[in-house]
Amino acid sequence: MFPTHFSGATWMCVASVLLFSCGSQPHLPAGSIQGLIPAPQSLQVGQGTYVCEGSLGLAWPEGWGQEAQVVQSWLSQAGIEASVNTAKPGLTFELDPSMEGLESYRMRVEPSGMRISSATHAGLFRGWITLRKTLPVACEIGCADGFELPCVSIEDAPILEHRGLLLDGCRHFQGVDFVLKQIDLLALHGMNVLHWHLTEDQGWRLDVPGLPKLREVAAWRTESDGSQHGGFYTVKEIQRVVDYAAARHIEVIPEIEMPGHSSAALAAYPELGCTGDSIGVPHRWGVFKDIYCAGNDDTFAFLEKVMDHVVSVFPGPRIHIGGDEAPKVRWSNCPKCQRRMKEEGLANEEELQRWFIGRMGDHLATKGKTIIGWDEILEGGLPEGAAVQSWRGMEGAKEAVHLGADVIVSPTSHCYLDYPLRSTDLEEAYQFEPLPDSLAHGPGRILGGEGNMWTEHAPQEMVESKVYPRLIALAEVFWRGHSHAGATGAYVDFLSRLDLHYLRLDALDVAYGLESPPFELSTSASSEGELVALIQAKGRGVMGRGQWTGNGSVLASGEPFVVNGPGRAEMEVGRRGTWTGTSASYALDGHSAVYRPLILEYEPSPWYTGGGREALVDGRLGSNDFRDGAWQARQGGEMVAEVDLGSELEVSAVETGVYLYQDAWIFMPKSVVWEGSVDGRDWRELASWSGSNVLAPNDHQERVAIQGVMGPALGPVRHVRMRVNGAGPCPDWHAAAGSDSWLFLDELVVRTKEAS
């Protein structure tokens, strides 16, 4: 035996490899084993090739029905003439009861034919998908003249039984054909679960007979520009999705949120809320305090009717009931909810939520279903029989395993595909460990993992660029485990296979995105004290070109440029030698305080440092995304920063950028005061700003530039101090009433007459 090398990297998953002699026929497209993702557990390459000259005999076991249609449909699309149960089949599917594992399979390609064996139909289908990925990419479009394959033997099985994608169809609706395409892509990557998020604050997507207002009211929202967004899936469309998934051995798990994230349902049926007040379907994102009333029996009559319908159209054994981000403000002030707590002997509102979910779990148990909930369902005590999906890190998974529950892991750190690449790039997704040693001990177990695609900021046309290729990395981790992914050279090997796999995605018209942020911005000060910026292309095959709007100069990635005053660097992204038309934008400000000595009289949040202790004088301004890495933040209190300008200068203007996103507890400050000093000891006010009604509902998710109103001229000063007073606790109308609000700043901007 000899090691085989692929694209300069050793394939880490190959258990044993033999050289083979090709004997190829140049007129036929040749298949390859070099781009297989997920990498199989064991692979042996033998001598010779199998040649298909445009027609293929098929044989499969009794009961191979919907799966057979999938195989035949693909072969037909590829232009291969297929005939069933011929005397000498070229492709045979056979059940082998001696094999262990629900999805394990064995695939063999020999000169005489191709054979896939498994103990189950699911295993046979997983084997078919692997065979399909060894066939030439040309077959995805059409290879009517046939193909040839190297002789190979693969034995494979997943380590996790639950490997899924959460697809949020509520924040932005997706058409049925798009959902079917995602099911095909899940199957292509060895995934077996579509977790379909169907109800939310911003839209209800499930048509329920007898509850017409769900499709007439709850399914639609009016956007801030007056346009309408929404949609719903009919019973027939749901059936189409479920059947399509079943033929590919993918379980569709519907999520019906409760008791929170229920604003759309309450807009349709306000009597199900604690106040009974009429509300609209929200068009903004976040957490809302109006939730289902736990003390109202009509609430459970409604939800049981919904669930009875869900059970009738989703045949799988599991229903996801949400349970996350449910503020208890309404329950605390609701006589019905308080009476329910007293009747049931519940100590607090967290226990009331456990009772709520437990009651719905009991109802579903009568229908033969079990429930899954987000890790918040642990807070009042785990409802009996519930599985837990851990998203707030892995602590929820650890607690649930300790309590004996089944667990699905999808932490924000690695599995949130809606997050920007600067938060979670392809490599970070690939390094996820779904089975850490800390979770190996306990009566519970890790069932598997999911990549989560929330769509607040992703309409249908953007979804694939966020999901892929990061879900491909997770797919390999969920199939093979981190012991492979974490091995030396494993990521480099994965990338070499991914390069080949991209060709198949291109053929399938998958609008995949980048592997990492396209550019990396760094700033520094020149010897003359000017702000110097450098934008470098980051990632494989990425290039950039652009313009600095401050003076219209042309920019190229990797070439530093001087920033005088405010402006934006607009960079177009190129990939694989082609300009994509997409761009990245960076707001910069070469003001008089850039990279001058800075003193902070507070400790920034470790989650929002803005890049370090110099963040407020690094010349980078924040965007309308508070997670962009330019914002520095603190929860509660004030933020005070002092800068030494280096010499006495006459200040002409001061300003700072603050962030507003009240649903995320980020408020405008109450006031900002800028002070000046010659010696750093005696201070006088330079300018001030005072907010009016900063705690009123006013959520725009945006950067707000606050400019100080200059006072009487003080003469030259050397030191400038900015004191920003936070908004204080979240107000009574807020879902987190009484909790400390957040304050976000991006820069302490100082302009002087010499620099103006």
pLDDT digits (tens, 9 = 90+) for 341-387: 999 999 999 999 999 999 999 999 999 999 999 999 999 889 989 99
For strands 542-548 and 553-556, give the pairing: antiparallel
Which residue type is seen at 634?
Answer: R
Tell me the domains of the chain and their CATH numbers.
5-156 (3.30.379.10), 162-507 (3.20.20.80), 517-589 (2.60.40), 591-756 (2.60.120.260)
* DSSP letters for 415-431: HBTTS-TTTS-HHHHHT
pLDDT recorded at residue 756: 43
Amino acid 672 reads V
List average pLDDT for each run of 10 residues in the chain, which is 756 residues long. 32 35 59 94 93 93 92 95 86 96 97 97 98 96 93 96 98 98 98 98 97 98 94 98 98 98 98 95 90 98 98 97 93 97 96 95 96 94 93 93 95 95 94 88 92 96 97 97 76 95 96 94 94 92 92 90 94 89 92 97 95 96 92 96 97 96 92 96 95 79 93 92 96 87 97 72
- CA-CA distances (angstroms) from residue 483 to 11, 401, 437, 473, 562? 14, 21, 11, 14, 47
At 371, list the tokens. 């429930």
Q: What is the C-alpha separation between 485 and 499, in angstroms, rounded? A: 17
**Cβ-Cβ contacts under 8 Å for 640 (sequence gap 6 or more):** 600, 601, 602, 721, 722, 723, 724
Residue type, 185: L
Q: Distance between CA atoms of 520 and 561, rounded to whole angstroms?
A: 14
What pLDDT score was predicted for residue 13? 36
pLDDT tens-digit profile of 582-637? 889 999 999 999 999 999 999 999 999 999 999 999 999 999 989 889 999 999 99
Residues 671-694 as b or e (16 or more Cβ within 10 Å = b)? bbbbbbbeeeeebebbbbbebeeb
Q: pLDDT, tens digit, for every residue of 688-742?
A: 999 877 888 877 789 999 999 998 888 999 999 999 999 999 998 887 888 899 9
Residue 541 near residue 574, CB atoms below 8 Å: no
Q: Show Cβ contacts of residue 501 under 8 Å, excluding neighbours closer than 6 positions.
A: 35, 37, 133, 472
Question: d(Cα 620, Cα 568) in Å, to the nearest integer?
Answer: 10
Report how far residue 229's alpha carbon sits from residue 221's, in angstroms, rounded to the nearest whole number. Answer: 6
**Backbone torsions φ then ψ of 530, nearest 5 degrees:** -80, 155
Q: Are 543 and 537 in contact (CB under 8 A)?
A: yes
Question: Judging by DSSP bridges, how do beta strands 105-110 and 81-84 pair with one another?
Answer: unpaired
Picking from 45, 38, 65, the residue whose alpha carbon sits closest to that of residue 5 is 45
Q: How far is CA 557 from the centre of its chain?
A: 28
Quickly list H helices, 155-234.
Answer: 176-188, 213
The secondary structure element, H or E, covering residue 475 is: helix 470-480
Q: What span, in angstroms and rounded, lies between the C-alpha atoms of 594 and 475?
A: 44
Gyration radius of the chain's alpha carbons: 29
Rounded Cα–Cα distance for residues 190 and 480 (Å): 11
Conformational region of residue 144, where left means phi above 0, alpha means psi within -120 to 50, and beta covers everything else:
alpha
